[in-house]
Amino acid sequence: MPQKRFFIALILGCLGVATALAQMALIPQPQSYSRDNGAIDLPRSVEVVYSPASLEGTAAYLVQCLKRYGDIIATAQAGKAGAVRLQLNRRLSAGAYRLSIADTGIDIEGGDAEGVANGIATLSQLLLQGKGQLPCAVVTDAPRFAWRGFHLDVSRHFFTVPEVKRIIDLMAFYKLNRFHWHLTDDQGWRIEIKKYPLLTEKGAWRIFNDQDSVCRKQAVVTDNPDMLLPHDRIRVVGNDSLYGGYYTQDDIREIVAYARQRGIETIPEIDMPGHFLSAIENYDGISCFKKIGWGEYFTTPLCPGKEKTLEFCRDIWNEVISLFPYEYVHIGGDEVLKDNWKTCPDCQQRIRDCKLKDELELQAWFIHQMEAYLNQKGRKMLGWDEILEGGLSKTATVTWWRTWVPEAPQQVINQGNDVIFCPGSPMYFSQTEQKNNLQDVYEYDFGGLIKKTGNSGNSGKAGKAGRILGVQGNLWTEYIPTFAHACYQYFPRILALSELAWTEPAKKDFDKFSTRMTRHFELLQSLNVPYHTPSLEGFYGVNAFTGQGKLTATCKDPSAIIRYTTDGSMPTASSRLYSGPITVDQTTTFNLRLFQPNGKGGENVQAQFVKQGLLEALPEEGTLKPGLTATWYDFHEFKCTNMHLSPVKATYDVSDVCIPEGVNGHIGLIISGYIRIPADGIYTFALKSDDGSLLTIDGNLVVDNDHPQSPHEEISQQALKAGRHAFEVRYYDHNGGMLRLNVLDPNGFRMNPTDLYFH
Ligand code: ACM
Ligand code: ZN
C-alpha cells in the first residue's frame, strides 16, 4: 500500500524555489545532510504527534516554531500517526537526532528529548529560510561536545522573564544546551529566597552606579539608545530612583521549564564567598566586620569563620536546589578579596581549628564545605577556576576563564576533574569583537589539549583523567543594560561558538561558515534579533598616498548600509551614502558608520587618508649587520614615551620585532636599528601588542598602539623612499604579553624580516 502523503510535493523548476532551497545554510553545520530532489510546502494546518508522552513539552516547542509561518494552525497530541512525528530512538546518542523530510511526513527522532529539540532547531532554520517550504532531505547529526554553554549575568543589569525566554529560544535555535544563569553578584540579588526575603526586597534594588553612568554616556557618544537603562527597571522610593528587578520562584520555575522544552538545562550560579555584597549588605553577622563595601577591585566577601554564614549559605542552596532539577549548580568562587580574613578573629580561629595553612586554604575549605552539602543533596558543583587554588576537591567541575592561567585546564584534567572552556579571550562576548573576534572563537583549539589527550565531552566516561566537557560563551553585563545590546554582543559570535561546540573539526571551514553566516543575518533580521554587523574592511586606520588615494569600504553583510562624513562628526541616518570607491586628493579623515536595513546605526570607524611625500632615505653605511638591537628597561609605567629614562636590565640582538627569550615581568623594550626599503612606495605596518607599543621611522610616529590592553593590532601606512631608514619599536607590559610587527610591501605581501632589518 502506498504511504499516505501529508504534504504537497513541489516541482522545483516550476516554482522557482529550487535555488533558495539548494542554498540552505545551517548553523551549526550538521554531521550529515543528504538532499533529495523534491520539496514540500507546509500546509495551513499541521498536526504534530509525539511518542512517548514525555515529549509533550518538546512538541509544544515545535508548535511554537511552526506558528511563526503566517496563519499556520499547529496542534500537538500524543500518538504516532500524523504529519510531523517526534520520537525517541535509543540507538542515537544524547543530543543526537535524525530529521527526515518527505511528502509522506516529517520525522524527528532523538537520542533523548534534547536530541529531538536539536532536530526541531534544524527544521526551524530550514523553514525560516525556505519561508515555509522545505527541501526533502535527511539530516543525521550529533554534537561534538555535551556542554554547549551560554552564560548570562543578570545581576549587573537585569533581564526580564520574556527577555530571558527569547534568549533561550535563540540558544535552542543554535543548539546550545546549557544556560549558565549568573543570578547573584555585588550589584544585585535576582532570585527570591523565601527564608531571606531582604535579599530581593532590598538586595535586588540599587541606586545608579558608575557602570550605569558609563552606559548613559555611551548612549550619547555612540548615538545608541540600546545603552539607555530601560524605564521598567527603575522605581522611585522616597527620594531615590532605584534600579533593579528579580525573579520570583514561580518565574524561575517557568523559565527552567521553558528551557527544558527546548532541550536546555539551566544552571544557577550563586556566587560566593566573594561577589556577595548584595547579601551581606542586608543580613547581619555573615561578614567579618561591620564595615563592608568595595576594595580596590573587589568587594568584601562573606565570613567563612562564622557558623551563621555557613547556615545562611546552606539555606540558600536548599531553596535553589528545589528550583533547578539538574545535576550541576555553580558556586562562583572567583575574585575573592581575602584581606578581612587575615584580621578577622573568626576566620583565624577557623584556620587554626581546621589546620589550614592560610587564607587561600580557607577559601578552599569554604568551597569544600558547600560542595559536601551539595553532594549530599545529590548535586555536582561547578566553580570558576579559582577553586583550584588551595586544593580542588575530587568531584568539582571547573569553568576555566582566566586566560592568564593557561595551565589551569591541564591541571584540572590531570587531577581527574572535568573542565569547561570559557577563557576570557576569546569567549567573553562582553568584550568587543575587535578584542575577542569571531574567527578566534570559531577556530579555538582548546590550547592543543584535545590533540594531546584525545579527550572531549563525548569521549565516554571520565576515567582517571578528567574530560573537556565543552565550551561556553560568557556575557557580563556591567555595560550591557538592554536585551538589544546583549544580542548585539552575542551575535554573531554565538554562531561561531555553536559550530565550535557542535560540529566535528573535520567538517569546519571558516570561509564556508562565513558564507552561511551571511544568510543567517537575514534570519536574525526576520527574527528581529539585533546583531553586530561585521566591521568594515578595505582600509586601515592610517592610509598613505602620494598622488591620489582611494577609499574602498566593504562589509561581509550585504544588507549593511554605509554612511560617512568628512567633517569629524559621527554619521547619522541622513549622512552621505557610500556607494563605491571614493577618490581622495588631499588629506582627509573619514568617519564611516554601518546601518542595518531597519535604520539602526552601528559601529563608527575612522579612516585617515594622509597625503605624504616619500620619506628620504639615510645615506648608506657599509658596516651594518642583520637584525635589530633590543634593550630591556626596568619599566613600571603605562605609556611607552619615557621608557628610555628607566634603568637598563639587558640588551639582545634579535632578528625580528619580538620579546627576546628571558624578558618577562616588568618589561620596557626599545627595539632599534634600520629598515631597508627595496623600492619607493607605500608600506604597511601592522603592530600588535599586549600591552602598548609605538613604531617610529626616521623619528616620525607611524603606528600608535600605546595603551594598556589585551592583544590589539593597529595598522598604518607610510610612504618611503628606497634605502635605509632609522627604525624603532617601543613596547611595555607588566604580566606576560605579546609583540608582533608585520610589514607589507606596496603590493600587500608580507616582507621577510631578514631582508628588512639591520643594525
Ligand atoms: C569572572 O569573570 N570573574 C568569572
Ligand atoms: Zn571572618
Say how many Å lie between the CA of residue 354 and the centre of ligand 2: 14
Grid coordinates representing 83 are: 504529519
Residues 515-528: tens digit of each pLDDT: 999 999 999 999 99
Phi then psi for 120, rounded to 5 degrees?
-65, -40
pLDDT of residue 523: 94
Q: Whose CA is nearest to atom 2 of ligand 1?
A: 401
> Which of 474, 603, 590 lies closest to 150, judged by CA?
474
E strand or H helix that includes residue 437 = none
pLDDT of residue 463: 53
pLDDT of residue 36: 85
pLDDT of residue 381: 98
pLDDT of residue 453: 60
Can you say how many angstroms the Cα of residue 420 is from the centroid of all Cα atoms in its chain? Answer: 14
Q: Whose CA is nearest to atom 3 of ligand 1?
A: 334
Rg (CA), the chain: 29
Phi-psi region of 416 (alpha: psi -120 to 50; beta: other; left: phi over 0): left
Beta bridge partners of 726: 674
Using CB distances shorter than 6 Å, the residues near ligand 1 are 334-335, 384, 401
Q: Tell me the angle at which helices 510-526 and 113-130 cross, rounded to the nearest 10 degrees.
A: 80
Say how many Å lie between the CA of residue 245 and the centre of ligand 1: 22
E strand or H helix that includes residue 179 = strand 178-182
pLDDT of residue 22: 63
Q: Which of 157, 275, 520, 532 is catalytic?
A: 275
Is-catalytic flag, 269?
no
All structural domains of the chain: 8-141 (3.30.379.10), 147-184+211-227+247-526 (3.20.20.80), 542-611 (2.60.40), 628-758 (2.60.120.1560)
Q: Is the pLDDT of residue 13 over 60?
A: no
Mean pLDDT of the 295-314 span: 95
The residue that leads in pLDDT, 36 or 409, is 409
Q: How confident is the model at residue 17 (pLDDT cuts 50, 70, 90)?
A: low
Q: Is the peptide bond before 418 cis (omega within 30 degrees of 0)?
A: no
Ligand 1 closest atom vs CA 424:
2
Is-catalytic flag, 485?
no
Q: Is the peptide bond before 558 cis (omega within 30 degrees of 0)?
A: no
- Within a 10 A sphere around the Cβ of 3, how many other Cβ atoms? 9
Please say whether the beta carbons of 694 and 742 come within 8 A: no
Residues 43-80: tens digit of each pLDDT: 889 999 999 999 999 999 999 999 887 778 888 899 88
Residues 163-207: tens digit of each pLDDT: 999 999 999 999 999 999 999 999 999 999 999 999 999 999 999
Q: How confident is the model at residue 711 (pLDDT cuts 50, 70, 90)?
A: confident
Grid coordinates representing 393 are: 576537591
Residues 543-564: tens digit of each pLDDT: 999 999 999 999 999 999 999 9
Q: Is the pLDDT of residue 12 over 80?
A: no
Say how many Å lie between the CA of residue 401 and the centre of ligand 1: 7
pLDDT of residue 451: 67
Ligand with smallest separation from the Cα of 403? 1
Residues 358-405: tens digit of each pLDDT: 999 999 999 999 999 999 999 999 999 999 998 999 999 999 999 989
Please say whether the beta carbons of 713 and 705 come within 8 A: yes
Grid coordinates representing 685 are: 605596518
Q: Is the pLDDT of residue 7 over 90?
A: no
Q: Is the pLDDT of residue 460 over 60?
A: no
Mutation probe of ligand 1 site: the residue of 153, 181, 384 with most atoms within 8 A of C-beta: 384
pLDDT of residue 102: 94
Neighbours of ion ligand 2 (CB under 5 A): 288, 303, 305, 344, 346-347
Ligand 1 closest atom vs CA 275:
3
Burial class (CB in 10 A: 0-12, 13-18, 19+), 580: exposed
Mutation probe of ligand 1 site: the residue of 184, 297, 334, 405 with most atoms within 8 A of C-beta: 334
Say how many Å lie between the CA of residue 225 and the centre of ligand 1: 27
Say how many Å lie between the CA of residue 303 and the centre of ligand 2: 4
Mean pLDDT of the 692-699 span: 97
Q: Is the pLDDT of residue 139 over 90?
A: yes
Q: Is the pLDDT of residue 647 over 90?
A: yes
Q: CA 405, CA 735: separation in Å to the nearest integer?
A: 11
Q: Is the pLDDT of residue 1 over 60?
A: no
Q: Which of 335, 339, 440, 745 is catalytic?
A: 335
Say how many Å lie between the CA of residue 428 and the centre of ligand 1: 9
Map grid coordinates 621608557 to a residue.
643
Say how many Å lie between the CA of residue 334 and the centre of ligand 1: 6
Q: Which of 109, 112, 141, 185 is catalytic?
A: 185
Grid coordinates representing 156 are: 549587573
Say how many Å lie between the CA of residue 335 and the centre of ligand 1: 7
Is-catalytic flag, 185?
yes
Q: How confident is the model at residue 455 (pLDDT cuts 50, 70, 90)?
A: low
Beta bridge partners of 322: none
Amino acid identity for residue 294 in this structure: W
- Within a 10 A sphere around the Cβ of 353, how many other Cβ atoms? 9
Ligand 1 closest atom vs CA 332:
4
pLDDT of residue 462: 46
Map grid coordinates 519561508 to a residue.
131
Say how many Å lie between the CA of residue 150 and the centre of ligand 2: 34
pLDDT of residue 603: 85
Mean pLDDT of the 591-605 span: 91
Q: Whose CA is nearest to atom 1 of ligand 1?
A: 334
For 429-534, list the strands marked E by DSSP: 468-475
